[in-house]
Amino acid sequence: MDLSAARQRVTELRRLIEEHNYRYYVLDQPVISDQEYDALMRELLALEEAYPELRTPDSPSQRVGGAPREEFAQVRHPQALLSLNDAFNEGELLDFDRRVRELAGGPVEYVIEAKIDGLAVALTYNDGLFTLGATRGDGQVGEEVTANLKTIPALPLRLRRSLPLLVVRGEVYMPKGAFTALNAAREEAGEPLFANPRNAAAGSLRQLDPKITASRSLSLFVYQVISLRGATVFTQTGALDFLAEVGLPVNPYRVLAPDIQAVLAEVKAWTPEKRAALPYEIDGLVIKVNDLALHPVLGATAKAPRWAMAYKFPAEQATARVEGIILRVGRTGVLTPTAVLTPVRLAGTTVSRATLHNEDYIREKDIRIGDTVIVQKAGDIIPEVVAVLPERRTGVEEAFTMPERCPACGAAVVRPPGEAAHRCTGGLACPAQVLEGIIHFASRGAMDIQGLGPAIVAQLLEAGLLHDAADLYYLKKEDLVKLERFAEQSAGNLVAAIAASKEQPLERLLFALGIRHVGQRAARVLAGHFRTLDRLAGASLEEITDLPDIGPRIAESIREFFAEPRNLAVLEKLQRAGVRLTAAGAGTAAPGTAVPDTTAGPLTGKTFVLTGTLPGMTRQEAEKLITSAGGKVSSSVSKKTDYVVAGDKPGSKYDRARELGVPVIDLEGLKRLLEGKRSWRREDLYDRV
Ligand code: IVH
């Protein structure tokens, strides 16, 4: 195929794909199968691969997700994106109607829409092309998430009609099915679960890597025209029709109500069953004045327009008996109490567990074992205990107290000052923490070891094959085949998957290590800056906190992590197994980068300060050793110092180093560095206190 034939076919394919998207997402009337659709997309991708000059920003192929970003740009909305006032009962709706009629000077017609429980976004189309997408943020300033929004199949990259300008407001949401599947996968991977589809949608849209957003099955409904040039709309229903006509997804539910009585009747018609039957969450209805000419007349407060009101559905509740309270020990040792309930039906599912959050929550609500309680689904997904029915008490109920010893390992349980959580102090000696830690290590966002879910990790721990995450890399196929559930093939697959993970990028390893407060975002920033685990281990508090998005809490826990001998032992084992501890290309100067004017060697770029008497070596000799290996020797300790080498009777420089968090090593440690060895031995970062 030559270029001009390819161009023709590419244009045709784009038209077809957008047409099928429109039929699927807007009209809800697909005419081809998913396979046929995929075939069109594959053909388009192949042609664009062969002829990159044919790629355009509005090609449906661009939905796969662009390059990851460091952070989101902030955008100021040209017009504030207001919130809505809430009504919880008929009386509040009648009050709303009275105010509206007073200001409007007569009767008004309303339109009722579904209140989609998602994340509000503003979408800008210039000359029909999707050019800018932002989250609502605080209403004034949001985050620019254009690339992420482009991955949402329901969002047209080009309108079906070219208009000079259209700015719309809509809601990005995660369908219930996608939410359940996402949480199931996260559970399997040992990752924290999303509390509800709204949080999941928000978390997925605010990903720095659009490829993650693309994998999350988000969808969209638009409901409000913010700016429009090249056409006119007069009513809200007219606006919804217009939005659908230009190709934007509009929720099919809308009801015109000639007056507030009709609104109240419609509100009543929304039974829990009707709501449960929808494939996405709605948390209420939005009642809007239909005549757009009245909107500026009615105006707005600083928070919300006076021409609209949200009617919030009451949360569904049920009563159940607390049969017991169990504790789960998480990866960081936090003990989370959970109520075990007599099973009850609630908002379409059977509930037998409810979170109790922490001890304060239990105390505040005075929840006792044996109590009859009211449970409710928060965001209608995760059940929680809202209140106790004390009149149902018979006197046999038992108050709950947090145990003094961890139920998993027997170590002391403490409640750190200022925290609501109780923690097990067993650390890596606590089997529950070890289990959770290894599950996290292998999970999708971390080392992503296929086939190593929670059940297998538990089995390997029980068999005594694992004591920490690094042991994974020493597992042999012969050991695995002896275990129940493992066959020749599955054992081989697991060993291969573990071996493959050795090459995971540094940022994943950093996240996988489970350093407290170091999430994926912080791990990426740290890996990008330090490039090797070694440099991060030797970094001072200041150097770490100087990085964007890294606060003192993160820096502190990084230092704590590297000061813990057991962690250093795990790192050493990882290193011996050949796990990559450096970012790709670390250590080699990029072309065009000025190389510092010192001898290149294992200490290049490192600054040392010497203090005390070094055994068997004069200070000059030590200095020579350092400079000939590319390092610098300085006479005073600052936050720029990489290491303080301390001998006998060290002076004030030692104290200064401790103050600034600069690592202190001994002569042995220096020698290891000189040999180019990554030194993880605790003795290297020695401590004289
Ligand atoms: S109208 C200026 N219509 O609910 C008023 N909002 O709790 C614009 N929402 O922040 C809002 N579905 O994000 C409107 N059909 C709908 C909606 C809707 C969901 C969201 C919106 C708003 C929130 C208020």
List the beta bridge partners of residue 310.
86, 286
Q: Using a 6 Å cutoff on CB, does residue 116 contact ligand 1? A: yes
Q: Which atom of ligand 1 is nearest to the CA of 82?
A: 2
Q: Using a 6 Å cutoff on CB, does residue 115 contact ligand 1? A: yes
Nearest CA to ligand 1 atom 17: 115
Say which amino acid occupies 421: A
Lookup: tokens for 193? 């679960």
Residue 363 to residues 328, 368, 521, Cα–Cα distance (Å)? 18, 9, 35
Q: Which atom of ligand 1 is nearest to the CA of 120?
A: 13
**For 74-116, what is each residue's pLDDT tens digit?**
889 988 999 999 998 999 999 999 999 999 999 999 999 999 9
**CA-based max dimension of the chain:** 98
* 390 CB neighbour count, 10 Å cutoff: 11
Question: What's the pTM?
Answer: 0.57
**Ligand 1 centroid vs 638 CA: distance in angstroms?**
53
Q: Using a 6 Å cutoff on CB, does residue 286 contact ligand 1? A: yes
Nearest CA to ligand 1 atom 4: 115
**Ligand 1 centroid vs 539 CA: distance in angstroms?**
47
Decide: 387 and 393 in contact? Cβ < 8 Å.
Answer: no
Write the secondary structure of 29-90 as one string of H (helix), E (strand) and C (coil): CCCCCHHHHHHHHHHHHHHHHHCHHHCCCCCHHHHHCCCCCCCCCEEECCCCCCCCCEECCH
Which one of the listed residues 115, 288, 377, 573 is annotated catalytic? Answer: 115
- The H-or-E segment that residue 559 falls in is helix 552-563
Q: Using a 6 Å cutoff on CB, does residue 170 contact ligand 1? A: no
The sign one gets for the Cα dihedral 560, 564, 566, 568 is positive
Q: Using a 6 Å cutoff on CB, does residue 221 contact ligand 1? A: no
Q: Using a 6 Å cutoff on CB, does residue 84 contact ligand 1? A: yes
Nearest-angstrom CA–CA distance, 390 and 385: 14
Nearest CA to ligand 1 atom 6: 115
Q: Using a 6 Å cutoff on CB, does residue 120 contact ligand 1? A: yes
**Ligand 1 centroid vs 278 CA: distance in angstroms?**
18
Among 77, 84, 281, the mutation site with the greatest number of ligand 1 atoms within 8 A of its Cβ is 84
**Ligand 1 centroid vs 168 CA: distance in angstroms?**
12
Give Cα 231 to chain centroid, integer Å: 40
Decide: 641 and 664 in contact? Cβ < 8 Å.
Answer: no
Give SS3 for 413.
strand
Q: Using a 6 Å cutoff on CB, does residue 305 contact ligand 1? A: yes
Nearest-angstrom CA–CA distance, 231 and 213: 33
**Ligand 1 centroid vs 224 CA: distance in angstroms?**
9
List the beta bridge partners of residue 368.
399
pLDDT score, position 600: 66
**Ligand 1 centroid vs 84 CA: distance in angstroms?**
7
Q: Which atom of ligand 1 is nearest to the CA of 84?
A: 24
Among 221, 223, 251, 311, the mutation site with the greatest number of ligand 1 atoms within 8 A of its Cβ is 223
Q: Using a 6 Å cutoff on CB, does residue 24 contact ligand 1? A: no
pLDDT score, position 35: 83
**Ligand 1 centroid vs 244 CA: distance in angstroms?**
18
**Ligand 1 centroid vs 146 CA: distance in angstroms?**
20
**Ligand 1 centroid vs 86 CA: distance in angstroms?**
11
Among 111, 115, 174, 221, the mutation site with the greatest number of ligand 1 atoms within 8 A of its Cβ is 115
**Ligand 1 centroid vs 181 CA: distance in angstroms?**
26
Domains and CATH numbers, the chain: 3-64 (1.10.287.610), 86-312 (3.30.470.30), 317-402 (2.40.50.140), 428-503 (1.10.150.20), 506-576 (1.10.150.20), 607-684 (3.40.50.10190)
pLDDT score, position 188: 66
Phi-psi map region of 368: left, alpha, beta (phi>0 left; psi -120 to 50 alpha): beta
**Ligand 1 centroid vs 78 CA: distance in angstroms?**
18
Q: Using a 6 Å cutoff on CB, does residue 135 contact ligand 1? A: no
Among 285, 286, 303, the mutation site with the greatest number of ligand 1 atoms within 8 A of its Cβ is 286
pLDDT score, position 315: 79
| Residue 606 appears among annotated catalytic residues | no
In the chain, what are the helix, strand and coil shares in percent, each to the nearest 5?
40, 20, 40
Q: Using a 6 Å cutoff on CB, does residue 239 contact ligand 1? A: no
Q: Using a 6 Å cutoff on CB, does residue 250 contact ligand 1? A: no
Give SS3 for 524.
helix
Q: Which atom of ligand 1 is nearest to the CA of 300?
A: 2
Instruction: List the chain residues with pLDDT less than 50.
Output: 587-598, 678-689
User: In this structure, are strands 74-76 and 141-143 parallel, antiparallel, or unpaired?
Assistant: antiparallel
Decide: 238 and 288 in contact? Cβ < 8 Å.
Answer: no
Nearest CA to ligand 1 atom 7: 84
Dihedral pair phi/psi, residue 77, rounded to 5°: -70, 135
Q: Using a 6 Å cutoff on CB, does residue 283 contact ligand 1? A: no
Q: Using a 6 Å cutoff on CB, does residue 171 contact ligand 1? A: yes
Q: Using a 6 Å cutoff on CB, does residue 83 contact ligand 1? A: yes
List the beta bridge partners of residue 613.
648
Q: Using a 6 Å cutoff on CB, does residue 112 contact ligand 1? A: no
Q: Which residues contact 372 (CB under 8 A, 6 or more apart)?
A: 319, 320, 321, 322, 388, 389, 392
Nearest CA to ligand 1 atom 22: 83
List the beta bridge partners of residue 129.
126, 158
